[in-house]
Chain A
Amino acid sequence: KQEVTQIPAALSVPEGENLVLNCSFTDSAIYNLQWFRQDPGKGLTSLLLIQSSQREQTSGRLNASLDKSSGRSTLYIAASQPGDSATYLCAPQSGNTPLVFGKGTRLSVIA
């Protein structure tokens, strides 16, 4: 059964810093991996999806990398802004099984 761990659990940084969020998963036989953000009391917003054949994906200030063989993914956020404050979730997908989530990293960017 897939298990997902995200480190750190919480992170507080001043505005402008570059930061890295880490995700590890136990079953490396994945089809793809998604990163989401969740604002308090809200649903999920998909940020990036990396196919298993890809090593990274970029969207604006976000860059996600995937090392499938070692069961790791990182989300890099450049020049962080207060509006980036949210919980970030990674979710690997194995075949037709549903997405499995970690507990997320709660990010706070202080102006």
Chain B
Amino acid sequence: GAVVSQHPSWVICKSGTSVKIECRSLDFQATTMFWYRQFPKQSLMLMATSNEGSKATYEQGVEKDKFLINHASLTLSTLTVTSAHPEDSSFYICSARGGLAGLAYNEQFFGPGTRLTVL
């Protein structure tokens, strides 16, 4: 089946620093990638949707200048949390979907998540 990886799996950083999280589709081309955030005991909340080669579409209330998303290739998307603060501490999960017929067509596959802790 389709596999999505994330790196790192966890990160601890100081307040004010920037953190980059990578999301890769390992065995299919992901024309669309999604970034979700999950706070403890809460559901997954969609942050943004990105299509390869174009700007990401952010959900209401998500600061695009704070959460920079780059979907530069069909297998890689990155989320950069800029000037991170303790309230940004959360579990970030990426998801990828293939737009071509075949593996992962129109089905979302999820990465294992990245635990961000900002001190």
Chain A contacts to B: CB under 8 angstroms: 31-32, 34, 36, 41-44, 46, 49, 89, 93, 96, 98-104
Contact = CB atoms under 8 A, between A and B. Distances in A.
B27 to A, nearest CB: 15
Contact of A98 (B34, B42, B111, B115): B34
- The secondary-structure label for the interface of chain A is loop
Nearest to A103: B43
Contacts of B95: 98-99
Interface residues of B, number: 20
B44 A89 contact: yes
Contacts, number: 43
B46 A49 contact: no
A32 B97 CA distance: 14
Interface of B: 6, 32, 34, 42-44, 46, 49, 91, 93, 95, 106-113, 115
A90 B46 CA distance: 15
